[in-house]
Structure 1
Amino acid sequence: MAIYTRTGDAGTTALFTGQRVSKTHPRVEAYGTLDELNAALSLCVCAAKNPQHRQLLENIQLQLFWFSAELASESEEPTPEQRYISSEEIAALEAAIDTAMGRVPPLRSFILPGRSEAASRLHFARTLARRAERRLVELSTEIAVRHVLMRYINRLSDCLYALARAEDHDAHQNDIIQKVAERYLAAIRTSATREPAMSLSFQELHQLTCAAVMRAEELQVPVVISIVDANGTQTVAWRMPDALLVSSELAPKKAWTAVAMKTATHELTSEVQPGAALYGLESHMQGKVVTFGGGYALWREGLLLGGLGISGGSVEQDMDIAETAIAAINVRTHQ
């Protein structure tokens, strides 16, 4: 069966009621833009990673068919077998907006649309929803348009924005986790091939701890000292009298971070700023990672031996104590 009828060759099209109007008629412009939006949403469904987002987008696609059918009919009487947009669909959009926005950090400036494919496609669909809204407002100056349709199309663009933010957030979080996992696994592989002798001896652990305590006493700063092996397992934990309780949590995290990221913790500070490669690392790792000074990776002959974490003073004091202690044994802080 041929899909062409030749009846539109003169620049007109038929509404559901059979009346022929120009293809530039505001009614045709409105439901034609909804058709564009629906096609764009199909790409969003394919790109979205969150299964709940995909299901919601498919529901919206069906609702746009109802929406278009209503605009394509001049009948003011509802048709029993036809579905119509109602407040129920608007409530579902608002619930989706609240859920998505509740998962992402607040923005204080404009952002470039989409750092992931799904978010980029959703932002594009959002602009089509805004255009559809403008077409609908234009149409409403000529015919009666149900107010619920105006509310729905306005809320839809907000919903697509919220979904884009959530997809971007998830993609960024997964990217952070992947990068951290790769660096940590690299450290594990290095430790697996290490000769048994290439680890800190008991004497070196003792010297490292004593040197840190001596420097801390010189500075009159009670600290917590943590040393971990190349696998991130704590081998030494020493708390000086009157050291802050929170330091008992921070020192091991600094040592672990230095091993996991294979670098000193203060060198991560610039990497976690907005726009940097590891932005959001601390929150995505649920507080396990520390990105301020006081943690050092310990290297010898290109092999990672472990990590040292100092906490209790200012960042500068913690770094001073750690660097003084490291100087007491034959290790480096860089590979």
Structure 2
Amino acid sequence: MAIYTRTGDAGTTSLFSGQRVSKTHPRVEAYGTLDELNAALSLCVCAVQSDALKPFLEGVQQQLFWFSAELASENETPTPSQRYISTAEIDALEQAIDQAMAQVDAVHGFVLPGRCEPAARLHLARTLARRAERRLVELAGQVNVRQVLLRYINRLSDCLYALARLEDHLAHQQQIITEVATRYRAATRTTTEPTRMSLSFHELHQLVRAAMTRASALGVPVVISVVDAHGIGMLTWRMPETLLVSSTLAPKKAWTAVAMKTATHQLSDAVQPGSALYGLEAQMAGNVVTFGGGFPLWRDGNIIGGLGISGGSVEQDMDIAQAALAAIHMGNDQ
């Protein structure tokens, strides 16, 4: 069966009533733009990562068919047998907006339209929804259009913005997880000299003693924590009168130094807004420390553990840690 009828070759098309109008008629422009939006949403369904989002977007696509059918008819109200947009569909869009925005950081300015492919496609669909809204407003100036349709298309563009923000957020989370996992695997790679890939009891003793000596000289009681190459605690020592919070921070600094394969003070710039690891602290539920006092322990280019010092200022903690590393003739880099 041929899909071409040749009836539109002269630049006209038929409404549901049978009336023929120009293909540039405001009514045709309105439902034609909804058709563009529906096609763009198909690309979004193929791209989004969330399994729950796919059926939601497919539901919106079905609603756009109802919407277009209503615009292609000259009847002012839908017939009893016709599916149509109601306040229930608007409520569902608002619920989706609230759920998405609750998971992302607040912004107080413009955002670039999509830093990952699913978000970029959703933002493109958003712009088409805005264009459809403009076409609908134009049509409403000439014929009667149900107010609920104007509310729906306005809310749909808001919803697509919120979903794009959420997709960007989820992609950034995955990027952080991948980066941390990559660094951790690199830090715990196997070696042909297993006996040299850990601190000896003598080295551990010298490390702690040097740290305590330097802390005493500075008049700063600290907690000293050492972990192995897998981030597992080997020793934690608390000097008298040390701040209670230091008993939590020192092990976290040592673990961070191993997990991120770098001194903790070197992470400060990397977690600032716009940097590669922005959001790392929040995503790691506070287990990562990004201020000074944590140092990885290296031997022959391999990481063998981490040292964390907490109790003084950042500068004092770093000073004490570096004195401890020097005592066992170990630098804090490869």
> What aligned pairs does 1:260-279 form with structure 2 within 5 A after superposition?
260-279=259-278
1:107-164 Cα shifts (integer Å, max 9, x gaps): 1332211111000000000000000000010000000110100100000000000000
How far the C-alpha of 1:275 sits from its partner, in A, is 1.3
In structure 1, how many angstroms separate the alpha carbons of the residues matched to 2:298 and 2:177?
A: 25
In structure 1, how many angstroms separate the alpha carbons of the residues matched to 2:153 and 2:59?
A: 14
Tell me the amino acid that sits aligned with residue 205 of structure 1.
Answer: L
Unaligned runs of 5+ in 1: none
In structure 2, how many angstroms separate the alpha carbons of the residues matched to 1:174 and 1:40?
A: 25
Tell me the amino acid that sits aligned with residue 43 of structure 2.
Answer: L
**Worse-superposed segment, 126-135 or 300-309:** 300-309
Aligned partner of 1:149 in structure 2 is 149
Aligned partner of 2:166 in structure 1 is 166
Aligned partner of 1:49 in structure 2 is 49
Cα separation, partners in 2 of 1:108 and 1:36, compared to 1, 3 Å: same
Unaligned runs of 5+ in 2: none
> What aligned pairs does 1:11-22 form with structure 2 within 5 A after superposition?
11-22=11-22
Aligned partner of 1:242 in structure 2 is 241
SS in 2 for 1:21: strand
1:193-214 Cα shifts (integer Å, max 9, x gaps): 4421332111111111111111
1:206-225 Cα shifts (integer Å, max 9, x gaps): 11111111111111111111
In structure 2, how many angstroms separate the alpha carbons of the residues matched to 1:193 and 1:255?
A: 25
Aligned partner of 1:329 in structure 2 is 328
SS in 2 for 1:75: coil
1:91-110 Cα shifts (integer Å, max 9, x gaps): 00000000000000111332
Percent identity reads 71
> What aligned pairs does 1:1-335 form with structure 2 within 5 A after superposition?
1-190=1-190, 193-335=192-334
SS in 2 for 1:177: helix
In structure 1, how many angstroms separate the alpha carbons of the residues matched to 2:148 and 2:209?
A: 73
Number of equivalenced pairs = 334
Contact 1:85 1:149 in 2 (8 A): yes
Following TM superposition, the consecutive aligned residue runs of length 4 or more in structure 1 with deviations greater than 6 angstroms are none
Compute the TM-score of the two structures, normalised by the length of structure 1.
0.98
SS in 1 for 2:333: coil
How far the C-alpha of 1:241 sits from its partner, in A, is 1.3
SS in 1 for 2:199: coil
In structure 2, how many angstroms separate the alpha carbons of the residues matched to 1:313 and 1:197?
A: 32
Tell me the amino acid that sits aligned with residue 93 of structure 1.
Answer: L
In structure 2, how many angstroms separate the alpha carbons of the residues matched to 1:166 and 1:293?
A: 32
Contact 1:300 1:330 in 2 (8 A): no
1:6-65 Cα shifts (integer Å, max 9, x gaps): 110111100011111110000000000000000000000000001121111111000000
In structure 1, how many angstroms separate the alpha carbons of the residues matched to 2:108 and 2:292?
A: 28
In structure 1, how many angstroms separate the alpha carbons of the residues matched to 2:78 and 2:269?
A: 61
Contact 2:77 2:146 in 1 (8 A): no
How far the C-alpha of 1:77 sits from its partner, in A, is 4.2
Contact 2:255 2:306 in 1 (8 A): yes
Tell me the amino acid that sits aligned with residue 159 of structure 2.
Answer: C
How well do the aligned residues superpose, as a CA RMSD in angstroms? 1.0
**Worse-superposed segment, 274-283 or 121-130:** 274-283
SS in 2 for 1:189: coil
1:270-290 Cα shifts (integer Å, max 9, x gaps): 111111111111111111111
Cα separation, partners in 2 of 1:155 and 1:194, compared to 1, 3 Å: farther
